[in-house]
Amino acid sequence: MTASFSQAASSFPQFMNLLAQRQSPALLWYSAPGERIELSGRVFDNWVAKTANFLVDECEVEPGSLLALPQRLHWRSLVLAAAGLRVGATLTWELQAGADVRAAFDMSELEDAEEEYLLAVAAEPLAPRFMGQLPSEVLDYAAEVRSHPDVYVGWAAPAAEGHAWEGTSYGRLMEQLTEQATALTTEYEHEVAALQVPGERFDAAYLEQALAVMASGRAALVLDPAVTWEQERLSRVLGDERARSLPSQR
């Protein structure tokens, strides 16, 4: 993907369009033993498109809207973030009030939230709905998102000067993804199919690194930090996926 990425992906929608052409894995999620989720580039794009349509249709998200994301590291967190970028929203991981939409895996984070739209996100693998009772004002992301189209034709590409998140414009984000993807292509041999993105929580730095791995043509390997990772199991996963671990940036 990298050769065409620097030439064609000048915007995030173009990045997603390139990713959608990939049948190979773009995202790999490992959690408890036996729990493995693989999303090809095309399937990842489908999930992002469904979520983008959900955010626009159900939550009135538009370019510049503030989308508060969970700090929990999970494959659905990455999908929500990419969908926010697809729409042109500004992402935040802060817990204080002020966002237009807030998503959380833990209902306690939504109990006193003042945002107009609140999303409960299921943590179980491919769960069809949130497990537990939800107040009427809280939307069940897993249950609602499936009914939305898997092609996004909403808002135009976000303006380059718009904020992807605090301190990073959309234009700068695309420049950084190109730079990082090119560096990863140079550093790792072609036989490496996936790169494990290390981290204990989800934030802007983690998102950017995961997207850069995808842009390099490889799968971003995400390991659930809520699970204890013995060296034996980690080595087995890396071997099975033909993966390497990226150095920690923390």
Residue 226 belongs to a domain with what CATH number?
3.40.50.12780
Percent residues over pLDDT 70 in the chain:
96
| Model pLDDT, residue 148 | 98
What one-character DSSP code corresponds to residue 34? T
Q: Looking at the chain, which runs of residues are DSSP E strands?
A: 25-30, 36-40, 66-68, 90-92, 101-104, 117-120, 138-140, 163-165, 168-169, 194-196, 219-223, 243-245
- The reported pTM is 0.95
pLDDT at 69: 98
> What single string gives the DSSP state of each residue in 174-189?
HHHHHHHHHHHHHHS-
Structural domain includes residue 175: yes
Give the pLDDT confidence score for residue 9 in this predicted structure: 75
Look at residue 52 and tell me if it is in a domain. yes
Instruction: Give me the domain span that covers residue 24.
Output: 2-245
Cβ distance 113 to 133 under 8 Å? no
What digits encode the pLDDT tens for the residues 9-28? 789 999 999 999 999 999 99
Structurally, how many domains does the chain consist of?
A: 1
Residue 35 is assigned to a structural domain of this protein: yes
Asked if the structure places residue 124 within a domain, the reply is yes
Nearest alpha carbon to residue 103 among 227, 86, 88, 82: 82
Q: For 33-79, how does the pLDDT look when each residue is reduced to its tens digit (9 = 90+)? A: 999 999 999 999 999 999 999 999 999 999 999 999 999 999 999 99
Confidence class for position 98, pLDDT limits 50, 70, 90: confident
Rounded distance between C-alpha atoms, residue 25 and residue 162, angstroms: 30
Judged against a pLDDT cut of 70, whether residue 6 lies above it is answered with no
For residue 141, report the phi and psi dihedrals to the nearest 5 degrees.
-55, -50
Q: What is the pLDDT averaged over residues 189-202?
A: 97
State mean pLDDT over 142-148.
97
Kindly state whether residue 18 falls inside one of the protein's structural domains. yes
Residue 250 lies in a domain: no
